[in-house]
Structure 1
């Protein structure tokens, strides 16, 4: 009887885990979005000298170009330290801790962001529309892939907590950065929202970062609940006494 109950618990917890993992990255509906996401990014040209900073044993030269202030909905992300990311590793790029792809403005106002799917590569954000109508309605000037730079461990920790579906607000400086650690490396930044393709990403040296509202609730909590249930049922199964037939 106990083994039968444990078997059902294992099956149910596994199904719940798979469902929660699938649903945790579903984007929230427009009714759950803060109206501040309707605003456009704020960008102001600045005159600031380049500065040096050392991260991961590499010294970088950072040249700020514009102050930048963005509020948006995270639709895709890529952590630079993920195991399969060889570009950051080969480039000795420890300053770029995370790439986040966000939407705002018209794409939030008309809800069309829900009709597209998003994915991130090592330096790209890719979109795919479910229909020609959705693609036509999508405002490609109200989406950006942001390379987030920081030399502060506390800020990096906050940034790495970002999940798809989160509503975020960050301030920083659109910047170029480079190093000469064994070879010459340099990466620039977009300074307009109308460009596409290679070089269209915003490279932002982060001054502040805030998660305004987390997405994926309660599915993210259910992931952990399902894991606990699954582990408990497996342990319970193996702790049952072995019965031998006479």
Structure 2
């Protein structure tokens, strides 16, 4: 009887775990979004001197260009520290912590983002849909791929914890940055939301970052709960005494 219960526990916890992993990055409905996501990013030209900072033994020169303030919904993410990212390693670029693709404005107001498929490459954000109507309705000036830079361990930890479906708010500077660690490396930034293609990403040296509201509920919690249930079931299965019938 106990062994039968454990068997059903294993099956149920596995089903919940797989379902939760699939659904934990679902995008929220518009009713769950902060009204601040309707605002356009704020940008203001500045006159600031370039400065140097060190990350992972590499000295970078950063040139701030504009103050930048963005509130948005994360629809795709790339962590530059992931094992398959070879470009950042070859570029000796450890200052770029994560790339967050976000939407705001008309795209969240109309719920069109839930009809679009988003994905991230090593330095790109891609979006597509099989619906011509949805693609035409999607506002391509209300989406951006943000290369987020930081030398602050606390900010780095928060940014790496962000998941698809989270609502975020960050402030910083649109900036160019470079280094001469083995070769001359330089990366610029977009300064407008209307450009597309190569060079259209915003490069932001982050001063403050917050997750306004986490997404993926209740699935993120169920991933942890079902994982613990599955582990308990596996342990219980193997510690059960084996009954031998004569």
Question: What's 1:135 paired with?
Answer: 135
Question: What's 2:147 paired with?
Answer: 147
- Distance in 2 (alpha carbons) for counterparts of 1:204 and 1:189: 8
* RMSD value, Cα: 0.6
Structural mapping, 1:1-246, within 5 Å: 1-246=1-246
- Distance in 2 (alpha carbons) for counterparts of 1:124 and 1:245: 62
- Distance in 2 (alpha carbons) for counterparts of 1:245 and 1:201: 69
SS at structure 2 position matched to 1:230? helix
- Distance in 1 (alpha carbons) for counterparts of 2:117 and 2:202: 21
- Distance in 2 (alpha carbons) for counterparts of 1:44 and 1:93: 27
Give the drift of 1:244.
2.1
SS at structure 2 position matched to 1:160? helix
Kindly provide the CA deviation profile for residues 137-182 of structure 1, in whole angstroms up to 9, marking residues without a partner as x. Answer: 0000000000000001011011111011000000000000000001
- Distance in 1 (alpha carbons) for counterparts of 2:4 and 2:114: 42
Give the drift of 1:3.
1.2
Aligned length: 246
Give the drift of 1:107.
0.3
Query: Normalising by the residue count of structure 2, what TM-score does the alignment of the two structures yield?
Result: 0.99
CA contact (8 A) 1:115 1:130 kept: no
Runs of 4 or more, structure 1, over 2 Å off, are none
- Distance in 1 (alpha carbons) for counterparts of 2:55 and 2:152: 9
- Distance in 2 (alpha carbons) for counterparts of 1:208 and 1:6: 47
CA contact (8 A) 1:37 1:71 kept: yes
Kindly provide the CA deviation profile for residues 40-86 of structure 1, in whole angstroms up to 9, marking residues without a partner as x. Answer: 00000111111000010000000011000000000000000000000
SS at structure 2 position matched to 1:206? strand
- Distance in 1 (alpha carbons) for counterparts of 2:77 and 2:110: 23
Give unpaired runs (5+ residues) of structure 1. none
Kindly provide the CA deviation profile for residues 163-203 of structure 1, in whole angstroms up to 9, marking residues without a partner as x. Answer: 11000000000000000001111100000101111111000
CA contact (8 A) 1:44 1:67 kept: yes
Kindly provide the CA deviation profile for residues 92-149 of structure 1, in whole angstroms up to 9, marking residues without a partner as x. Answer: 1110000000000010111101100100000000001241100000000000000000
Give unpaired runs (5+ residues) of structure 2. none
